[in-house]
A and B are shown apart, each in its own frame.
Chain A
């Protein structure tokens, strides 16, 4: 069975600070990896995804994530956060045949203006 761990449950940053949210998964085979964002009161939206190729993936709104296979990690980064980045961030993995996703528990990010 696959699982996803997001170790930071809550993160508080000031505007312009750099962001890194951790995501580790357990699955020994080929994986597809996703980061979703959920703004307050809204639905989950795709930030970025990794299937193959360059392990450094760039997404929307200046976010990027790096797949490190040896560490089973897919951490999300942004060099300079904005107040509007306040949201909950979910890492998800698909390692099975089929397209069911396993989500991490989410990280709540608060950016102070």
Chain B
């Protein structure tokens, strides 16, 4: 059973560039979560979707960040324009839409903005 698949695993780019992170949730999971992890701020929930609909985006830091889920098997997190303070590991997680279901995490994308 394939887990949550994220791409790319690593991204290094210059500030001002657009960055797109991708996530494929586990088949059958209808909730998807985007997190950001840094040493300073720890693990932060950015946004989550149920059945492809954004439910809570209060964690999205600013308008430079946007997320979409066009279908049940794909989501993107976009940063435009990127800044050095966006450097972090971005995790995608998915779960079945029930409160007693655990979230399954992808391997993350390590993003470095120069």
Contacts and interface: CB of A to CB of B under 8 A. Distances in A.
Interface stretch (B11-19, B79-87, B95-103): B95-103
A56 interface: no
Interface centre among B103, B106, B107, B108, by most chain A C-beta atoms within 10 angstroms, is: B103
B55 interface: yes
Contact of A96 (B95, B99, B102, B104): B99
- Do most interface residues of chain B lie in helix, strand or loop, or is the interface mixed? strand
B48 interface: yes
A105 B55 CA distance: 23
A75 B72 CA distance: 35
Interface string A88-107: 00100010111111010110
Contacts of B97: 98-99
Interface in A14-54: 32, 34, 36, 42-46, 49, 51
Given A43-B105, A90-B43, A103-B43, A97 B91 contact: no
B103 A101 contact: yes
B106 A99 contact: no
A32 B100 contact: yes
Given A42-B107, A44-B91, A105 B99 contact: no
Interface of A: 32, 34, 36, 42-46, 49, 51, 90, 94, 96-101, 103, 105-106
17 contacts: A36-B105, A42-B107, A43-B91, A45-B105, A98-B55, A98-B99, A99-B31, A99-B95, A99-B97, A99-B101, A99-B103, A100-B45, A100-B56, A101-B45, A103-B43, A106-B42, A106-B43
